[in-house]
Amino acid sequence: MKEQLARDMKEALKSHDKVRLQTIRMVLASIKNAEIEKRRLLNDDEMVSIIQREIKLRKEALEQFARGGREDLVRQTQAEIGVLEKYLPDQLSEEELLGVIRDTIREVGAQSTRDVGKVMAALMPKIRGRADGKRANQLVVELLR
């Protein structure tokens, strides 16, 4: 993934795509900082987590910009989110996510909302990078009620 980001950064530089270039540079910097912190190279799953965190930060900023009436920053942030989402694995649809959750509930033998922790512990490795954990948690709670 890191090589892909580096290639895309060079391509953005050649095509004078400022938003894409700036966004990829920020992600590569975040990855480099995480590698320095962990004192090892990151695997693709860890890089996906960093990209998801960057998207989450931008979505939070997007709300603030919209409330502040800064349409220019809203457009730029949406463009950055679009660039970052291209590096995520294919996302699960709502139906696919529900199917994985139901299977996991059966696997762990969950009966009530007290078992949400067990279900989430078994579920997260299956959906990491392919679905929002917060949404998955909401669905687990609804299904266990």
Nearest to 116 by CA among 99, 92, 136, 97: 136
Position 94: which residue type?
A: E
CATH number of 94-144: 3.30.2290.10, 1.10.10.410, 3.40.50.2300, 2.60.40.10? Answer: 1.10.10.410
Structure tokens at 83: 């660039």
Which homologous superfamily does the CATH classification assign to the domain defined by 2-85? Uncharacterised protein YqeY/AIM41, N-terminal domain (1.10.1510.10)
Residue 65: closest CA among 79, 86, 48: 79
Please give the model's pTM, rounded to 2 decimal places: 0.76
pLDDT grade for 33, boundaries at 50, 70 and 90: very high
Question: For position 130, what pLDDT does the model report?
Answer: 86
User: Could you tell me what percentage of the chain is helix, strand and coil, using 3-state DSSP and rounding each to the nearest 5?
Assistant: 80, 0, 20
Extents of the domains making up the chain: 2-85, 94-144
pLDDT confidence of residue 63: 92
Q: Are 24 and 12 in contact (CB under 8 A)?
A: yes
Once rounded to an integer, what is the mean pLDDT over residues 66-84? 95
pLDDT digits (tens, 9 = 90+) for 77-103: 999 999 999 999 888 999 999 999 999
CA 97 to chain centre: 15
